[in-house]
């Protein structure tokens, strides 16, 4: 599993003119589920994202280099959006290959499980709509954008597991 995590002041997802998920301050998580991903990947990623210390501690004053709080510690929330295109391979030609992306039912089940596990880690979670054409709006705070990949997925790609 791979996630692009953005610290946001606000974010929302709209499907066919209807807002289906919206958060204020928190994390926008764009999630790609790869063939071979499983429960361990989802659990690791949920723990890691819920615990990321990317929010400033008010006690640190104006020091922007001192992020000390996680989304759990700020009262923030997560907006999780499934995005198989994160797994696009652009090494050959001009058309990305998505052969690493998990197929629909498998990917949806792990996306849903990731959201459950993130909630279990203490983070309120809003979601997009799996498989739908979505419009994602966000106000990036910082900007602060991180790419987080489960170690099991890295090991599978490199032949280490």
pTM, entire model: 0.90
The range of the structural domain enclosing residue 78 comes to 2-158
Q: How confident is the model over 41-94, as pLDDT tens digits?
A: 999 999 999 999 999 876 666 566 666 899 988 889 999 999 999 999 899 989
158 is catalytic: no
Rounded average pLDDT over 10-36: 97
Q: How confident is the model over 108-137, as pLDDT tens digits?
A: 999 999 999 999 999 999 999 999 999 999
Are 78 and 23 in contact, with CB atoms under 8 Å apart?
yes
What is residue 139's predicted lDDT score, i.e. its pLDDT? 98
Looking at the structure of the chain, the number of domains it has is 1
- Tell me the pLDDT band of 159, cut-offs 50, 70 and 90: confident
Q: Spell out the residues 6+ positions from residue 43 whose beta carbon is closer than 8 angstroms to its own.
A: 117
Q: Which of 6, 14, 84, 114 is catalytic?
A: 84
84 is catalytic: yes
83 is catalytic: yes
Q: Spell out the residues 6+ positions from residue 114 whose beta carbon is closer than 8 angstroms to its own.
A: 1, 31, 42, 45, 46, 80
Q: Which of 6, 83, 127, 149 is catalytic?
A: 83
Rounded CA separation 85/83 (Å):
5
Rounded CA separation 12/19 (Å):
7
Task: Return the CATH number at 79.
Answer: 3.50.80.10
Q: Is the pLDDT of residue 39 over 90?
A: yes
Rounded CA separation 111/129 (Å):
11
């Amino acid at each position: 599993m791979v996630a692009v995590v953005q610290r946001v002041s606000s974010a929302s997802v709209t499907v066919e003119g209807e807002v289906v998920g919206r958060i204020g301050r928190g994390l926008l998580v764009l999630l790609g589920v790869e063939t071979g991903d499983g429960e361990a990947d989802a659990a690791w990623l949920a723990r890691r994202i819920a615990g990321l210390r990317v929010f400033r501690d008010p006690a640190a004053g104006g020091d922007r280099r001192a992020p000390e709080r996680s989304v759990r510690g700020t009262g923030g929330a997560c907006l999780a959006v499934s995005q198989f295109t994160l797994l696009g391979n652009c090494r050959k030609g001009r058309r990305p290959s998505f052969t690493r992306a998990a197929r629909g039912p498998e990917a949806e089940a792990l996306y849903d499980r990731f959201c459950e596990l993130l909630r279990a880690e203490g983070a309120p979670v809003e979601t997009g709509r799996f498989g739908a054409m979505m419009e994602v709006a966000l106000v990036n705070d910082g900007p602060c954008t991180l790419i987080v990949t489960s170690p099991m997925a890295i090991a599978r790609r490199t032949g280490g597991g």
